[in-house]
Structure 1
Amino acid sequence: MTETLPGRDAPYQSGATALLIVDMQRIWLEPGCDPDHADLTADHYFYRETATRTIPNAERLLAAARANGVEVLHTIIQSLTEDGRDRSLDHKLTPMHVPPSMAEGLPVASLVPVGDEIMLPKTSSGIFNSTNVDYVLRNLGIRQLVIAGIMTDQCVDMAVRDAADRGYLVTCVSDACASFTQQRHDTALSAFKGYCWTADTATVVARFNALGRNA
């Protein structure tokens, strides 16, 4: 008998759906905090895009997830040690180091974890490579993973592809992600679309709300 497989856009299941917010940290999102881009001001494309679209949409996703029993996880780029000796080779070569004591390494105020939401620090682009997120998601009974955050063509890309390879049904929320340019964002969405269902914030929020109504 041929097995009937769910589509990537299958309806979300209560108790089996999680929202993953990727790298929405002050250091990357507040002008002047990122040492590699300290000269860029708030009128740069990336800061305008994240302030007016990405962050507000992530707030909407978080509010809907929290209101409707959707598990919420956060990941941030952060070393486990103050001197960063535990970092990946790639982060040492870049170099990229966010020590645990750096306040700017935490999520922006409107996106900080609440209650016992899980936050996983990582020192690689892919959360599945440098954290135990797969183990955690399976312990939580998660089958469907909704992903939003930055950068679309880097850490979000890795999360989408790696989650799909590990058997999760992945949704990428296109207007709750951003990259340094519109072209990079659009190119990334096109490149990894075969690994996920791409939807907008309004569609995903409606699906989260439907879980609450059906509970």
Structure 2
Amino acid sequence: MSDQEEKQPDPYMNIDPLRDTYREKIAEAAGRTHSLQRHNTALLCIDMQYLDAAPGFGVFADADSSGLPPESQAYYFDRLESLVLPNVRRLQEAFRANRLEVVHTRIQSLTQDGRDRGPGHKRLNLHAPPGSKEAEFLPIIAPHGDEIVINKTASGVFTSTNLEYVLRNLGITGLFVVGVYSNECVSTAVRDACDLGFYVTLISDGIATVTPELQQATDTTMKDRYARLMDTEEALSEIEGVFL
């Protein structure tokens, strides 16, 4: 390989040409750099349930007909089990220890036959009836006590439920967001929350999707435009710095 070939720049290094502009105009602008001290902050846990986050159930009941190649499924569940679920659990424990709200969303219909589902979920055959295994939260990150659970039948939890109303009633102005899938329900929630005026922090190692490319695209798109991007250790340090 020639020296010229070796020095070819990575075409993905500057995939976001407006990165610095957004960081200056939004992320570091007055009113956008508040810490937890300036916000009543909740942890928003999105769709961490058997329907879409457990092998052998729901979307993955039949691995061969899930529409995802084996390598994508392996990547997704490895990321969930080795990284995301332990991190979400740690964040939940930190929020609970400091008497901060932990709010859970899940896909669950009002009816057993799912006739109330949104058109998108009907088209994709996403269905978790009340009382079904698919509607259950994964045990490691399940709600505690009377933590709030918001049921939804569409991708966007803000547009299809009363979540905003509930958060306003609680006085919540900031959200730390975790869950699945990064590029679908999670990113929709982040965008909508930002547009509604919430100060959003997306936990980069607390979310998962089915390919590393989609994960990277989510991180790149969300960062500084719609949310701070922070890993679990940084989030825990911020919580500790404010409350301890």
TM-score normalised by structure 2 residue count: 0.81
User: Which of the residues 99, 103, 116 maps onto 1:86?
Assistant: 116
CA deviations on 1:1-44 (whole Å, 9 max, x unpaired) are xxx8422x421037711100001112222211134562267971
Pairs within 5 Å for 1:2-151: 5-7=30-32, 9-13=33-37, 16-36=40-60, 38-39=62-63, 44-151=74-181
42-51 vs 108-117, which moves further: 42-51
Q: Which amino acid aligns with 1:25?
A: Q
| Runs of 4+ with >3 A deviation | 40-43
101-110 vs 56-65, which moves further: 101-110
Q: Which amino acid aligns with 1:6?
A: G
Structure with higher helix content = 2
Question: d(CA) in 2 for partners of 1:192 and 1:212?
Answer: 27
Q: Which amino acid aligns with 1:18?
A: A
Question: d(CA) in 1 for partners of 2:134 and 2:116?
Answer: 20
Corresponding position: 1:202 with 2:236: no
- For the Cα contact (< 8 Å) 2:104–2:143, is it kept in 1? yes
TM-score normalised by structure 1 residue count: 0.91
Unaligned runs of 5+ in 2: 1-28, 65-69
How far residue 55 of structure 1 moved from its aligned partner, in angstroms, is 0.4
Q: Which amino acid aligns with 1:46?
A: Y
Tell me the SS of whatever aligns to 1:31: coil
Structure with bigger gyration radius: 2
Q: How many residues align?
A: 209
- Larger relative CO (CA 8 A, sep 6+): 1 or 2? 1
Q: Which amino acid aligns with 1:95?
A: N
How far residue 126 of structure 1 moved from its aligned partner, in angstroms, is 0.8
Unaligned runs of 5+ in 1: none
Distance of aligned partners of 1:31 and 1:131 in 2 relative to their CA distance in 1, 3 Å threshold: same
Question: d(CA) in 2 for partners of 1:90 and 1:104?
Answer: 18
